[in-house]
Amino acid sequence: MDTRQIELKIADLKFRERDLIKEVNRARGRYLYNAEKSATVNSILETFFIDTLGVPKNHINKYSQLGNLSGRAGEEFVDDVIVSLYSDSLGNSPMCRSCGELTVKIRINSHFDEPSIRRRETELMDEILALRDEVDALQLLKKNLKQGK
């Protein structure tokens, strides 16, 4: 294998890694959905925004994002999800007459996980790590070829 073939193989592996990372992120989307639908988030939405502040449910927006990650060898697992509840329709609330908007950020650290998604996340990360090892080996081979070893 010459250096050009090695470079082409490395490029192919990098493209595959990029695709796998996208797949991991798509799989993690289910975590965001589960966190937004959690009993904790719904309770805060109902008791605080609707009951206490009097904000109509259709004037409350939810936004979620991955929170802390922990992992192995540069690949990470989702530890928690951050869900933000937001409303800019607070005009009728006696508590927030002078507020233009209100956001509540909730860090959900349980009840968002799904074993099937976690397994898929692990499988994809194993494949990513194997690709990275192969890239490292090819880069070393290319270096050795250039040095005439």
* pLDDT tens, residue by residue, 7-36: 999 999 999 999 999 999 999 999 999 999
**pLDDT at position 97, please?**
73
Confidence of residue 73 (pLDDT cuts 50, 70, 90): low
**pLDDT at position 74, please?**
59
Higher-confidence residue of 94 and 51: namely 51
66 class by beta-carbon count within 10 Å (0-12 exposed, 13-18 middle, 19+ buried): middle
Confidence of residue 139 (pLDDT cuts 50, 70, 90): very high
**Residue range 60-71: average pLDDT?**
90
Q: Return d(Cα 116, Cα 121) in angstroms, integer.
A: 9
The range of the structural domain enclosing residue 71 comes to 3-147
**pLDDT at position 75, please?**
64
HSE-up (13 A, CA, CB side) for residue 140? 6
Confidence of residue 127 (pLDDT cuts 50, 70, 90): very high
CA angle at 125 for the pair 120 and 130, rounded to the nearest 5°: 130
DSSP tally for the chain: helices H, then strands E = 3, 5
How many structural domains are present in the chain? 1
